[in-house]
Amino acid sequence: MIGEGLQAVNARIARAAAAAGRDPEAIRLVAVTKTHAPERIEEAYRLGQRDFGENYVQEALEKMDHLRARLAKEAAAGKAAANDPAGRPIEWHLIGPLQANKTRPVAERFGWVHTVEREKTARRLSEQRPANLAPLNVLVQVNISGESSKSGVPPGEALALARAIAPFPRLKLRGLMAVPEPTPDVALQRARFRAVRALFDEMNRAGLLLDTLSLGMSADLEAAIAEGSTLVRVGTAIFGVRTPARSAA
């Protein structure tokens, strides 16, 4: 079931990339696993998926522990190489809001944070990133459709925030992330993604070295890829509809 979902999403990415004249390899798929049991993440891992997105820190830490224990057991049994021929480790992406008092476990255990919207949070992440790990990849979240969502900085403030956090030594500022208000209107989806892309280009012209545009989910990944997304965050289309049981954690 997860295998079919993953295959279908990878096929959608490939088709959308082809339609846009883009290399599908340039688009990273982050499998969004919020509310889903660790066994389902493990199943996706067995199928080769390596990037996973979680919204809630505590929930994510439990799943990381589960996966780590499972994989350590295999490594001890000498089976790791068979299950991980590419040798690529799991990368965890925090895609939900981050409170300033919860940065430490995030700095210690995630590879990416998509939701930076304050200099203070970024500074703490940099200070708390362990020296033995690569710098933490971060994205500035932009509030593109303005209204309902309170997450993200207004587009007019993104460049200043990016300039403030780019020098932090233990962070690597990679780009922008946005979650536009859902709409079935594909032209409107594209217009909103295009606005984020324009901001991204403007920031690169201003001298920032950004390479990641985190845009697109189950319902709108084609529009996002058409407008230049390099990373899509997909849950429902891989794992099915979420039951809300754990979502308020």
Q: How many CA atoms lie within 13 A of 9 on its CB side?
A: 29
Q: Which is nearer to ligand PLP, 166 or 237 (CB)?
A: 237
Q: Which is nearer to ligand PLP, 71 or 215 (CB)?
A: 215
Which residues lie closer than 8 Å to 237 by C-beta, 6 or more apart?
5, 8, 9, 12, 218, 221
Q: Which is nearer to ligand PLP, 81 or 249 (CB)?
A: 249
* Terminal alpha carbon distance of the chain: 26
Shortest reach from residue 247's CB to ligand PLP, in Å? 9
Looking at residue 233, the DSSP 8-state letter turns out to be E
DSSP reduced 3-state for 100? helix
Q: With CB under 6 A as the contact rule, which of the stretches 17-25, 78-86, 99-107, 211-219 interacts with ligand PLP?
A: 211-219
Residues in 22-81 at the binding interface with ligand PLP, rule: CB under 6 A: 32, 34, 55
> Distance between CA 62 and CA 77 in Å, rounded?
23
> Distance between CA 97 and CA 150 in Å, rounded?
10
Please report, as a single letter, which amino acid is at residue 235: G
Q: With CB under 6 A as the contact rule, which of the stretches 75-83, 119-127, 201-209, 216-224 interacts with ligand PLP?
A: 216-224
Residue 167 buriedness (CB in 10 A; 0-12 / 13-18 / 19+): exposed
Which residues lie closer than 8 Å to 126 by C-beta, 6 or more apart?
107, 136, 165, 168, 169, 170, 171
Q: Nearest residue by C-beta to ligand PLP?
A: 235
- Residue 235 found at the interface with ligand PLP (CB under 6 A): yes
Q: Which is nearer to ligand PLP, 84 or 227 (CB)?
A: 227
Q: How many CA atoms lie within 13 A of 181 on its CB side?
A: 9
Residues in 88-117 at the binding interface with ligand PLP, rule: CB under 6 A: 95-96
> Distance between CA 138 and CA 174 in Å, rounded?
6
Shortest reach from residue 199's CB to ligand PLP, in Å? 18
Q: Which is nearer to ligand PLP, 143 or 218 (CB)?
A: 218
Q: Are strands 112-116 and 231-234 parallel, antiparallel or unpaired?
A: unpaired
- Residue 183 found at the interface with ligand PLP (CB under 6 A): no
Q: Which is nearer to ligand PLP, 216 or 228 (CB)?
A: 216
With CB under 6 A, what is the number of residues at the site for ligand PLP?
14
Q: With CB under 6 A as the contact rule, which of the stretches 36-44, 157-165, 190-198, 227-235 interacts with ligand PLP?
A: 227-235
Shortest reach from residue 95's CB to ligand PLP, in Å? 4
- Residue 139 found at the interface with ligand PLP (CB under 6 A): no
Q: Which is nearer to ligand PLP, 121 or 218 (CB)?
A: 218
Using CB under 6 A, list all residues that contact ligand PLP: 32, 34, 55, 95-96, 179, 217-219, 233-237
